Amino acid sequence: MKVARLIPCPQADLLNIILRLLLNLSFDRDIRAQIIRIGLLPKLVDLIDDENQRLICLCLLYHLSMDDRTKGYFTYTKCNQQLMKMIIDCKEERLEPEVIALAINLALNPGCAEQLCDYKHGKGLKLLMKRAYKYKDSLIMKMIRNISSHASPDIKSQFISYVGPLGETLVTEKDEVFLTEVVGTLANLTIPDIDYQALMDEYGLVEWIKSKLKPNSADVELTLNVVVLVGTLCADDACAEVLAKSDIIQILIELLHAQQEDDEIVLQICYVFYQLCFHKSTRNVIIKKTEAPAYLIDLMQDKNKEVRRVCDMTLEIISECDPDWASRIKLARFRNHNQTWLETIEGQQVSYEDDEPTPINNTGPYGFDPMAFGDQDDYLDQFGYNDADEFPLDGRESPDMNHWNSINSGGEMDIDSKPFLKPEPTNTNNRNTNRSGTNNTIMKRRGVYE
């Protein structure tokens, strides 16, 4: 790219025109990759300090940050530190949209998230939390939520002190946009040391969850995040038992009816059923007292691959625990796998009468053309049974998927309260499982399969 040698340029007007040209060109994915490849990224980051070029550089960097493959290159620059400085030192109530938009994108990268948290010797997350709560800034909260989505223990451990304030925010916050980001952040905190049951009891989260899972709710995004939070809570055996006894399963089934076209909500509800089946204490509730297994059978042929995968793994657990459901599941799998063959056979008009007139063409004695499906080899290939396709390997692993004190006063957060940590166990039999969420994040979950 010939203009690369002109960046930086001593002539401010010429440099501004070049940057605007690059901004227009950067709408193309291939050109964005070329900008990274020829080494312009560090030069563009250095120009953030230039007041005359800062805005256009931020817009250009935002375009570059849209590609997941290029987010990691920002860790080799000082961009994350500069963004944190602009966010924390800003005296206005609302940040420049270009600054926070770039920060939100970069927070999705694990390396960038660590650098954002390491600002001022590890105080980055604390400073972001204080500003988010002081101004009730939902965009900063979204940035924090993106940081919490990473599986890095170093990042996760920094959120332990904020679990109490986050839980309090759920029941006190009225701004649904800010609340949605808080719920999403808390749902990402799959930390084994957190005592989820104490958190639920302290803030009465069971009733709050039931009030938010309304089938006809206008705020679908908030509903989705609440379902994800239920899945996080159900990873804990004690919480799963409490939720199962609170009619939460029936509420989720009704929500499944109302939002059956929303793949994300359907997927997360199926994951909640998986978690409930995973624990011995709740397995019989969902199998014996609800119709959840029947809905899972219906979803075995869903168009979404991840929904089918979670359903198969959940039904596999149910089959091992209940002989009656095992027979129904086996029959449903057979019918689903051989659906084309069964429909073809059922569509034939077969006559066994002796006085049946002689068929014409190449049809057999019963009016059935043996060559209707091509030659014999084609027939066998079309209706062959493939065990590998029907019974995916699961290994008993959870499927890949895909908040806060002194709230209403507008002051700083009180994080000195006792964190919701579990006492050191004397004997544990927990196991880790993987979960994927809407943004393709791998999370660590806990469960007991007995």
Whole-angstrom Cα distance, residue 415 to residue 259? 37
> Is residue 294 domain-resident?
yes
CATH number of the structural domain spanning residue 449? 1.25.10.10
Query: Per the structure block, which two tokens stand in for 27?
Result: 């709408």
> Which region holds residue 120: left if phi is over 0, alpha if psi is between -120 and 50, else beta?
left
The set of residues, in sequence order, having a beta carbon less than 8 Å from that of 219 and lying 6+ positions away, is 176, 180
Domain with 296, as residue range(s), is 159-342+385-450
> Is residue 307 domain-resident?
yes
> Is residue 175 domain-resident?
yes
> Is residue 364 domain-resident?
no
Q: Residues 268, 270, 273, 275: what is their CA dihedral angle, to the nearest 10 degrees? A: -60
User: DSSP H helical segments within 204-304, as ranges?
Assistant: 205-212, 220-234, 237-244, 248-258, 263-278, 280-288, 292-298
Domains in the chain: how many in total? 1
Q: State how far Cα 208 lies from the chain centre.
A: 22
> Is residue 50 domain-resident?
no
pTM, 2 dp: 0.75
User: What is the mean pLDDT for each group of 10 consecutive residues in the chain (450 residues)?
Assistant: 81 92 93 92 93 94 94 95 95 93 96 95 94 95 96 91 92 92 94 88 92 84 94 90 89 90 92 90 86 88 89 90 85 77 66 47 46 45 45 46 43 57 56 38 33
Query: What pLDDT is recorded for position 266?
Result: 93
Query: What pLDDT is recorded for position 18?
Result: 92
3-state secondary structure of 281: helix
- Residue 57 has, within 13 A of its CA and on its CB side, a CA count of 21
Query: What pLDDT is recorded for position 2?
Result: 77
Query: What pLDDT is recorded for position 90?
Result: 92
Query: Per the structure block, which two tokens stand in for 313?
Result: 């793994």
Query: What pLDDT is recorded for position 376?
Result: 44
Instruction: With beta carbons less than 8 A apart as the criterion, state whether 152 and 141 touch.
Output: no
Question: Would you give the DSSP letter of residue 421?
Answer: B
> Is residue 100 domain-resident?
no
> Is residue 324 domain-resident?
yes
Query: What pLDDT is recorded for position 348?
Result: 67
> Is residue 354 domain-resident?
no
- Residue 30 has, within 13 A of its CA and on its CB side, a CA count of 1
Whole-angstrom Cα distance, residue 348 to residue 330? 26
Question: Helix 339-346 vs helix 323-337: angle between axes, to the nearest 10 degrees?
Answer: 70
